[in-house]
Amino acid sequence: MTRSSYARTNICVLLAVLALSAATMVWLFWHHPVKTSIATILVLAALGVSARLARSIDTDGNSDMQKGGRSI
C-alpha cells in the first residue's frame, strides 16, 4: 500500500514539474521570443554535443570489454 502511494506521489511531482517547466517556457517565448529561441537552440546544441561525447566515451569502454580484457 505504501509503495503505490509513493509511486503515485512521484508521478504527481513529475507532472507538476513538467507543467511548470512548460508554462515557464511558453511565458518566456511569449514575452521574449528571440532570446528564448536563441537560448533553446544553444541548450539543444549543448545536449547534442554531450550525447556525442558520451557515446564516444562509452564506445571506447565497450571495445575494451569485448576484447576480453578487464578494465579497472
> Is the CB of residue 33 less than 8 Å from the CB of residue 39?
no
Same domain, 61 and 42: yes
At residue 34, the pLDDT reads 96
Does the pLDDT at position 2 exceed 80? no
**Where is pLDDT greater, at 70 or 11?**
11
pLDDT, tens digit, for every residue of 13-68? Answer: 999 999 999 999 999 999 999 999 999 999 999 999 999 999 988 765 555 555 55
Q: What sections of the chain are H helices per DSSP?
A: 2-31, 33-66
The total of structural domains in the chain comes to 2
- More confident of the two residues 72 and 33: 33
Give the pLDDT score at 60: 59
Q: In terms of residue numbers, what domain contains 44?
A: 32-66
Residue 57 buriedness (CB in 10 A; 0-12 / 13-18 / 19+): exposed
Q: Same domain for 7 and 26?
A: yes
CB under 8 Å to 28, separation ≥6 — which residues?
35, 36
